[in-house]
A = this chain, B = another copy of it.
């Protein structure tokens, strides 16, 4: 089951971190760009290859200390088919290094279209002569459930069939998440609480050996009060926590999404890891040539920061 594999990976590395791979060309150090330029020139394909090379160096720097990566599809779609090819290659490389892979694509649609998305990211597409193709071969996918069951069940069926997972947007990390998600219903609940109840329903009967379901939720680290509340509704869902670091969420804020067993959540950081070599904390220590060492140093610092916060939480619980 996806969720048990993820938890095993988190335990082995003693690190509830997921590294977001949201690569922008401006993040890539010059010496990496030069390698791609010398081989491929300056085309869109060359640019996409630059991103791939950057991702591979990042994965090499962290695969033994971080359990999971989360490529953000938008940054690959920007380069059209050259980018989606790099997304696939990044996923395949990460899996070869033993990492769990969550594709952050926030897909949503109904019926056969939702099935097509589920097939693309979590399944096998039928091609000519009865053959099949695993287009993106992710372990899990983020989805947006504004469309209700019809937009979620096709993904859940694929999870059941292929041991995959989904993370449903419940309360997102951004300030304007309140505009829809915090609307108060006539029974006093908020929209995001109702969404959390649905996620709880969708997870029923899908609990793995560690007590968690492969039907997870996304809850921003920037909302610790809401996270504590959601944790009560969602006893068995694993929570993907964006918003740590660059967006302002602290390790203690992120800890609100964990259970007292030290499990139940995985905390994302993207830019603060990818661009560690440019950060005030590390730029004096690591030049851009050593960007991969800066990422590793920041990953180890983040791991300690999170584990310290979880120890404090355990003491207070």
Contacts and interface: CB of A to CB of B under 8 A. Distances in A.
Nearest to A45: B127
Contact of A112 (B24, B83, B150, B181): B24
A100 interface: no
6 contacts: A74-B113, A80-B136, A83-B135, A110-B172, A150-B176, A191-B191
Given A111-B174, A116-B74, A125 B79 contact: yes
B174 A110 contact: yes
A121 B77 CA distance: 9
Contacts of A144: 106, 108, 144, 146
Nearest to A128: B42
Nearest to A118: B74
Given A24-B112, A179-B198, A180-B195, A78 B120 contact: yes
Contact of A80 (B106, B113, B135): B135
A292 interface: no
Nearest to A77: B120
Given A176-B151, A181-B146, A84 B77 contact: yes
Interface in A169-193: 169, 172-181, 183-186, 188, 191
A180 to B, nearest CB: 6
A43 interface: yes
Contact of A46 (B116, B128, B176, B179): B128
Nearest to A133: B44
A112 B144 CA distance: 18
Given A46-B128, A149-B179, A108 B110 contact: no
A266 B82 CA distance: 33
**Number of this chain's copies in the complex:** 2
A110 to B, nearest CB: 4
Nearest to A50: B128
A131 B174 CA distance: 32
A285 interface: no
Interface string A73-114: 011011111111100100000000000000000111111111
A108 B111 contact: no
B181 A148 contact: yes
A227 to B, nearest CB: 17
A72 interface: yes
A191 to B, nearest CB: 6
A296 interface: no
A263 to B, nearest CB: 27
A177 B194 contact: no
A80 B128 contact: no
A9 interface: no
Contacts of A181: 146, 148
Q: Which of A50, A114, A119, A144 is most buried by chain B, counting CB atoms within 10 A of its CB?
A: A144
